[in-house]
Amino acid sequence: MNKKTIVLDTNFLRECIKNKIHIEEELDRICHYPYTIKITEATIRELEQQMPHPEAKLALAITKKYERIEGEGGADDILAEISSQDVIIATQDKELKKRLKGPKIVLRQKKYLELK
């Protein structure tokens, strides 16, 4: 079985941290297949711009273990563009959700993740 790629958005990371959700445990719960987590360089830049906010600082620390995706433009544009490929985008951004062409992972009731 091929590994799926899950790409985390800035606001998704911050909301998971804010609500004390362990991202990898929740992904294991909802994803019954092998996956890898990636993050865009644009998301890293957004988090760096949000420093010294504690959630941004922790999110940056968490992202160090994930593989990076290069791309031109803002994080939302890159995520919308790659959503037509075989990836799952994890986001809480309402406008971005409308632009996505593939599956997405969202936070529900500030407690758990859901694959849509």
Q: What is the pLDDT of residues 68-84, one digit of tens each?
A: 999 889 999 999 999 99
- Cα–Cα distance measured from residue 49 to residue 31, given in angstroms and rounded to the nearest whole number: 31
Give me the pLDDT at residue 1, please: 63
Encoding tokens for residue 71?
Answer: 């791309």
Domain 4-115 sits in CATH at 3.40.50.1010
* Sequence-distant (≥ 6) Cβ neighbours of residue 79 within 8 angstroms: 7, 9, 40, 89, 91, 96, 100
| Domain ranges, ordered by start, for the chain | 4-115
**End-to-end distance of the chain based on CA atoms, in angstroms?**
20
Per residue in 33-80, pLDDT tens? Answer: 999 999 999 999 999 999 998 889 999 999 999 999 998 899 999 999
